[in-house]
């Protein structure tokens, strides 16, 4: 019983120890799971069929509020209805792109159906990412997009994806963007001879243009005045979701991201704890300890393996000449 207790104690302690840093990632995947549980089974409507007070998916066509309103994508410098961007920096020591800053910009735009329309909120958000987000990343691991405090923009791929090594000068438009969010210029760090230089920055941007068909997940509120279009705002306890993907694809993406990220990492932590506990059990268990046992052996795919137990609990393994077994 003492051996079992020791093994269980070590297993628990090892799981606690190894989960300290991964707990940040587990929390991010837990948040992904919360969003998945909220959006699965959510009704899909068009701007013609929405009802104020409901939280739902709305699928429609992007139109400018007054026909001329637009924003300029800070990375691509193109005129568009909505632009979402992220700046990442490469760390060779961790083999990881770390998000440094992000932002979403949107003017006065609407989502239109055949007859009705809903208004999306104006957005002009940009900031450096906080430490926890830098470590755990922005969004789920398999999601292409940008996430701020109350808005998520997702897509199948970024429209603009530019890398600038640290030894090269940063184009003026990107330098201006870095200054706006207070980022210092990148510096070259330790790098592999034939790999990407540490300190390389990646500038990514996704845009939504007038005429694009998008999906929005949010709460529908009545218009500010009689006859005004209903507005869409972030649902309670979650972020407003804007995506070029259909609702079914979004649900499947969040489900897979949650299952793989949360349960996969949790499984690795549990397996590590079980492995450590098993080693301790073998080490302290009487039947494996002092030299009270005769040498034991068995046939492995590589031959006969002999194990001898000595006073200091050293194991001597002897691999004899491989024995061929005939079947038939």
- Residue 310 maps to a domain: yes
> Given strand 123-128, what is the order of strands in its sheet?
123-128, 96-106, 82-91, 201-208, 160-164
Judgement on whether residues 85 and 232 belong to the same structural domain of the protein: yes
- Whether 56 is covered by a domain: the verdict is yes
- Tell me if 231 sits within 8 A of 147, measured CB to CB: no
Is 34 contained in some domain?
no
The CA-CA-CA angle for residues 262, 260, 38, to 5°, reads: 65
Asked if 308 contacts 315 with a C-beta cutoff of 8 angstroms, the reply is yes
Cα–Cα distance measured from residue 154 to residue 254, given in angstroms and rounded to the nearest whole number: 11
Residues 212, 312, single domain; the answer is: no
Enclosing domain of residue 51:
41-246
Q: Indicate the number of domains in the chain.
A: 2
What are the distances in angstroms from CA 131 to CA 27, 32, 86, 128, 282?
Answer: 14, 19, 15, 9, 41
76 shares its domain with 195: yes
Q: Is the pTM of this model over 0.85?
A: no
Asked whether residue 167 falls in the same domain as residue 75, the answer is yes
Sorted by sequence, the CB contacts under 8 Å of residue 229 that are 6+ apart come out as 110, 116, 117, 118, 119, 223
57 in a domain, yes or no?
yes
pLDDT at 273: 67
Tens digit of each residue's pLDDT, the chain (328 residues): 455 555 555 555 555 555 555 555 666 666 677 777 778 888 899 999 998 999 999 999 998 765 557 899 999 999 999 999 999 998 877 677 888 999 999 988 899 988 889 999 888 888 887 654 444 444 444 456 788 888 989 888 899 999 999 888 999 999 999 999 999 888 777 667 777 888 899 999 999 999 999 999 999 998 888 888 899 999 887 889 999 899 988 888 887 777 776 666 677 667 766 666 666 656 655 554 444 455 545 444 445 545 454 444 444 444 444 444 444 3
Q: What 3-state class would DSSP assign to 97?
A: strand
Q: Both 227 and 301 in a single domain?
A: no
Structural domain includes residue 302: yes
pLDDT confidence of residue 326: 41
Distance CA 232, CA 188 (A): 44
In a domain, residue 22? The reply is no
Angle CA(319)–CA(322)–CA(323) in degrees, nearest 5? 125
Rg of the chain over CA atoms, in angstroms?
A: 28
Based on the fold, state whether residues 195 and 308 are members of the same structural domain: no
In a domain, 273, yes or no: no
Predicted confidence at residue 97, as pLDDT, reads 85
Q: Are residues 236 and 141 in the same domain?
A: yes
Residues 72 and 211 in one domain: yes
User: Is residue 228 located within the same domain as residue 294?
Assistant: no
Residue 103 lies in a domain: yes
Contact 262, 30 (CB under 8 A): yes
Q: Which helix (H) or strand (E) holds 164?
A: strand 160-164
Distance between CA 277 and CA 274 in Å, rounded?
5
The pairing of beta strand 71-72 with beta strand 315-319:
unpaired
Q: Which of 190, 211, 246 is the last residue of a domain?
A: 246
pLDDT of 24 reads 59
- Same domain? For 146 and 210 the reply is yes
**Residue 307 and residue 197 share a domain:** no
Query: Both 52 and 131 in a single domain?
Result: yes
Domain boundary among 246, 272, 307: 246
Q: What ranges make up the beta strands (E) of 79-141?
A: 79-80, 82-91, 96-106, 109-112, 117-119, 123-128
């Amino acid at each position: 019983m003492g051996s079992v207790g020791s093994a269980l104690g070590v297993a628990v302690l090892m799981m606690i120890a190894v989960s300290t840093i991964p707990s940040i990632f587990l929390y991010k995947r837990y948040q992904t799971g919360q969003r998945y549980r909220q959006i699965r089974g959510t009704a899909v409507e068009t701007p013609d069929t929405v009802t104020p007070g409901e939280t739902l998916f709305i699928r429609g066509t992007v139109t400018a509020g007054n026909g001329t309103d637009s924003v300029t994508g800070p990375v691509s410098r193109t005129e568009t209805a909505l632009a979402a961007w992220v700046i990442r920096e490469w760390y060779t020591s961790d083999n990881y792109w770390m998000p440094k800053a992000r932002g979403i910009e949107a003017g006065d735009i609407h989502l239109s159906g055949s007859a009705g329309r809903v208004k999306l909120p104006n957005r002009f958000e940009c900031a450096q990412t906080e430490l926890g987000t830098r470590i755990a990343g922005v969004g789920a691991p398999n999601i292409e997009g940008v996430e701020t405090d109350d808005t998520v923009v997702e897509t199948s791929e970024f429209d603009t994806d530019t890398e600038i090594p640290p030894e090269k000068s940063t184009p003026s438009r990107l330098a201006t963007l870095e200054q706006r969010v207070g980022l210092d210029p990148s510096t070259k760090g330790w790098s592999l001879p034939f790999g990407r230089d540490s300190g390389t920055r990646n500038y990514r941007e996704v845009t939504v243009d007038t005429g694009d068909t998008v999906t929005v997940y949010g709460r529908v509120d009545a218009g500010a005045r009689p006859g005004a279009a209903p507005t869409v705002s972030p649902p309670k306890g979650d972020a407003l979701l804007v995506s070029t993907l259909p609702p079914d694809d979004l649900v499947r993406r969040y489900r897979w991201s949650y299952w793989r990220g949360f349960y996969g990492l949790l499984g690795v932590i549990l397996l590590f704890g079980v492995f450590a506990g098993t080693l301790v059990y073998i080490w302290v268990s009487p039947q494996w300890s002092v030299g009270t046992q005769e040498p034991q052996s068995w046939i492995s795919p590589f031959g006969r393996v002999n194990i001898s137990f000595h006073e200091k609990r050293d194991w001597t393994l002897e691999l004899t000449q491989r024995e061929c077994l005939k079947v038939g």
